[in-house]
Chain A
Amino acid sequence: MSKFKVLIKKLYKQKISSKSFILTTLLYLAVLSGFMFWSEIKDLIFSGDADTVAVVNETDFDIAQVLLDTDDVEYVYVDSGNIADKLKDGDYYAAFTLSDADGKLAAKIESYDPLPLNDQKDFQSALSQAGQLYAMSQMELSPEQQQLLLSSEPVITLNSLNETANDGKSAEEKMAGVWVSYAIGIIIYIFVASYLSMITTDVASEKGSRALEMLLVSVKPEVHFRSKIVGVFLVALTQFVILFGVLLLLLRFTDGGNKWSVVTDLLNSLSISYFLYIVGFLFLTIFMYLIIGALFGSLVSKVEEAGQVMMPAMMLTLVGFYVMLTGMGNPDTMLIKVFSYIPFTSGMVMPMRLGATDMSAIEPIISFVLLIATVLTLYFMSLSFYKRSVLTYSSGGIIEKMKTVFKVTT
């Protein structure tokens, strides 16, 4: 077995069997399962606990056709009277009093405790819809006219005259792109943060325990550097496959396949090239941060200093993550465009632009080429620096450590 393989085997075995890997994988699986089974869990915990909302309808309008019972809310239609007492006693969660105000529906929402924001929004939304129907009912429209009004959304066709731009995506495709990109951004952020920390700590620990000196007698620093990057990448890939595999199984075999069909519909609205870009950006970004992590790990003298040197790289990932989050609201801003070209953030930001905006085919290619060039440049620069830093012990901040390396090895 080559030295490279021996080093990878040791690292892989050690990391896969470590408590932290097992616990974080279990934690992610628990979160995934919780997310997938949320409705069942909610039913189990809050079973039969649909909130009762009393409705006092002082109009002639049949409000029951609008206010439909859900898993969370059950409407009861009552006369005004002892509502305040029942709200106080907890018999009713809230009460609506509906009346006519010059042809419009007037609604008063009462509750004993102030309502949570979500409930406020839900009730207002339901009542707003009821208000529209009430207004229509006041106009004495025929059923056909009512139907026409209800289905009055315009038929919109998008057409971009710029020939270099891709065919315009529909709003649905863009929304799907936003959500998939959001998920990808989170995956990249979590994996980069976890495995950047893993590789930095691992190199720092070997250097701090001086085991590295013994290792470097038999393996060249470049082989050691490569083995760390590939080894940690394989650990990351293993965790990714486990999580992704379980997610697919859960989607496929729970909820009678309903979730699976939602996901396939979502994925069908996205192109193959989009997925190829996503995979490329995901792996290259992780590789890039692993290179940075190994380099930073080689700068410290003991494992306790690993957190300190990791900070700048963590900040970069955080910046990328937050910029990506701003794109959830509007993915077409200048901020998103600029950061989608910066290699340290493009992995998280460009997928958002790819999925949720219309842009020319050359833009993601430029961003991808920039990322590849950065990864290669970083790799060769780090390799050269790693050879010098890995056996140099110094104190101070990251800049001071770098200066020491240059001083004692030049």
Chain B
Amino acid sequence: MVLQLKDVTKRYRDFVAVNRLNFTIEKGEIFGLIGQNGAGKTTTFRMILDLQDTTEGTITWDGQPIKSVSRDFLGYLPEERGIFPQMKVEEQLYFFGELHGMDKSELKKDIDFWIERFDLEEKRNVKAETLSKGNKQKVQLIASFIHKPAFLILDEPFSGLDPVNMELLKNAILYLRDQGMTILFSSHQMDNVEELCDHLCLLKRGESLFSGSLLDLKKQYGKTKLTVRTDKSFEVLSNYPGVNHVKMERDSQAVLTLEDEKYAPEIFDLLSNGNYIEKFSLDYLSLHEIFKEKVGAGLV
């Protein structure tokens, strides 16, 4: 156990931003904090970063109150991109490294490594304000971990990135995890969370709806997503036993949401009728679907 939030609450006069939040992050794992805008993610990050006080509850790092731990173990990439527009890329990275107590000589090797890895060699001596959004994001991400923090918080690291840069950043995050860094991150893009996170916490209006492993979350819903390729109509599929919802897609493909996975064999029999069937795939709901189900309930 590295980071632990225990009954953490943040209250502003008549508004509760975060209510009795509990979760634990183990060393070297990637943990996702997901929720809609205003769910309390950034407030939670700020409390962990000691930028805001908690109203109640405790936050500990390795058993020590987080306030008593040196700030140099932390790295943070805020949701809104923020680097010094007038500073050159390389200068900026040295500055953030030095701010965390590192020498220029210590930093040089790592800065060279990350500049090359993120394909920023040509931008090394360029002012940050002239960079594209993607490149700014890369520079800011490097700045957030150039001092090799033990714990890195990434608030929406993929927003606004094209698929190529997104892949680059994803690989970098996995690389950092492999180096032993513990990472907490938030994202609206559930496929990224699903791909990167081992554990997660689902927030809705400051309340934790779930905290634990991704697999456990999926198991709560069971394997209820059935994808088939068939020429049967929407009406026919809707009338099959245990089918809650049918979505017709292109290429004769349909996605059925089942009440329970126990109905799958019966539906298979009805669809195939003893014949060859091109596609019949039963799976867990995606995180995106669970998110919509859990967080979006009552909103749509």
Q: State the A residues within 8 Å of B (CB).
A: 1, 3, 6-7, 10, 14, 206, 209-220, 391, 407-410
Q: Is the CB of A214 within 8 A of B98?
A: no
Distance to closest chain B CB from A17 (angstroms): 10
Q: Are A213 and B95 touching (Cβ within 8 A)?
A: no
> What 4 A-B pairs come out closest when comparing CB atoms?
A210-B82, A213-B78, A211-B82, A217-B76
Q: Is the CB of B86 within 8 A of A214?
A: no
Tell me the complex Cα distance, A219–B71, Å: 7
Taking a contact as CB atoms under 8 Å apart, the answer to whether B85 and A218 are in contact is no
25 pairs, CB–CB < 8 Å, chain A vs chain B: A3-B101, A7-B99, A10-B95, A14-B87, A209-B82, A209-B83, A211-B83, A213-B80, A213-B82, A214-B82, A214-B96, A214-B140, A214-B143, A216-B49, A216-B51, A217-B71, A217-B76, A218-B74, A218-B96, A218-B147, A219-B71, A391-B52, A407-B12, A407-B13, A409-B52
**Bound complex: CA A370 to CA B100 (Å):** 39
Q: Using Cβ atoms and an 8 Å threshold, which residues of chain A touch B143? A: 214
Collect the chain A residues with CB atoms within 8 Å of residue B74's CB: 217-218
- Pick from A1, A217, A410 the residue with the most CB of B within 10 Å: A217
B75 at the interface (CB under 8 A from A): yes
- B:241-284 near A, CB below 8 Å: none
CA distance A246 to B243 in the complex (A): 88
Given A216-B51, A218-B71, A409-B12, are A210 and B98 also a contact pair (CB < 8 Å)? Answer: no
Report which residue of A209, A219, A391, A409 has the largest number of chain B beta carbons within 10 angstroms of its beta carbon: A209
A168 to B77 Cα, complex, angstroms: 66
Q: How far is the CB of B41 from chain A (nearest CB, A)?
A: 14
Complex contact B98–A410 (CB within 8 A)? no
Complex interface residues of chain B between 38 and 96 (CB less than 8 A to chain A): 46, 49, 51-52, 71-72, 74-78, 80-87, 95-96
**Cβ-based interface call for B144 (8 A):** yes
CB of B138 to closest CB in A, whole Å: 14
What per-residue 1/0 map shows which CB atoms of B143-164 lie under 8 Å from chain A? 1100100000000000000000
A212-B13 contact in complex given A217-B51, A218-B71, C-beta closer than 8 Å = no
Residue of A nearest to B96 (CB): A214
Shortest Cβ distance from residue A230 to the other chain B in the assembled complex, whole angstroms: 16
Nearest chain-A residue to B46 (Cβ)? A391
Number of A-B pairs, beta carbon distance below 8 Å: 66
Q: How far, in whole Å, are A284 and B99 apart by their CA atoms in the complex?
A: 29
**Most central of B46, B80, B82, B86 by chain A CB within 10 Å:** B82
A6 touches B98 (CB 8 A): yes
Asked, given contacts A211-B83, A217-B71, A391-B46, whether A408 binds B99 with beta carbons under 8 Å apart, the answer is no
Take A6-B95, A6-B98, A219-B99 as given contacts and tell me if A209 and B84 are in contact as well, using a CB distance cutoff of 8 Å.
yes
Interface size class of B (residues with CB under 8 A): 20 to 34
CB atoms of B84 and A218 under 8 A apart:
no
Interface residues of B (CB under 8 A from A): 12-13, 46, 49, 51-52, 71-72, 74-78, 80-87, 95-96, 98-101, 140, 143-144, 147
Q: Select B80's contact among A1, A210, A215, A217, beta carbons within 8 Å.
A: A210
Q: Which of B13, B52, B75, B81 contacts A210 (CB 8 A)?
A: B81
**Could you tell me the distance between the alpha carbons of A10 and B84 in the complex, rounded to whole angstroms?**
11
- Whether the Cβ atoms of B51 and A391 lie closer than 8 Å is yes
Whether the pair B76, A408 counts as a contact (CB closer than 8 A) is no
- Bound-state Cα–Cα, A212 to B49, Å: 13
- Contact B82 A212, beta carbon cutoff 8 Å: yes
- Minimum CB–CB distance for B4 against chain A, Å: 20
Task: Report whether B72 and A218 are in contact in the complex, using a CB–CB cutoff of 8 Å.
Answer: yes
Q: How far is the CA of A14 from the CA of B83 in the complex (A)?
A: 15
Q: Which residues of A contact B80 (CB under 8 A)?
A: 210, 213
Given contacts A1-B98, A214-B76, A410-B12, 7 further A-B contacts (CB under 8 A): A209-B82, A209-B83, A209-B85, A210-B81, A210-B82, A218-B74, A391-B51
* Cα separation A216 to B143 with both chains bound (whole Å): 13
In the bound complex, residues from chain A placing their C-beta under 8 Å from that of B86 are 14
Residues in A with CB closer than 8 Å to B99 are 3, 6-7, 215, 218-219
- Contact residues in A for B140 (Cβ distance below 8 Å): 214
Chain A residue with minimal CB distance to B83? Answer: A211
Once the chains are docked, how many angstroms separate the CA of A409 from the CA of B40?
15
CA distance in complex: A214, B71 (Å): 12
A245 to B14, CA, bound (A): 58
Tell me, in angstroms, the Cα distance from A407 to B11 when the chains sit together: 11
Residues of chain B lying within 8 A (CB to CB) of residue A214:
76-78, 82-83, 96, 140, 143-144
**Separation in Å of the A410 CB from the closest CB of chain B?**
6
CB distance from B70 to the nearest CB of A (A): 10
Task: A217 to B96: give the CA distance in the assembly, Å.
Answer: 11
Measured CB to CB, the closest approach of chain B to A125, in angstroms, equals 56
Chain A residue at smallest Cβ distance from B86: A14
Q: Please state if A218 and B100 are interface contacts (CB–CB under 8 Å).
A: yes
Q: Which residue of B lies closest to A216 (CB)?
A: B51
List chain B residues, Cβ under 8 A from A391.
46, 51-52
Bound-state CA distance A333–B13 (Å) is 50
Write out the residue numbers on chain B whose beta carbons fall within 8 Å of the beta carbon of A206.
84
Q: How far is the CA of A3 from the CA of B71 in the complex (A)?
A: 11
The smallest beta-carbon distance between A201 and chain B, in angstroms, is: 12
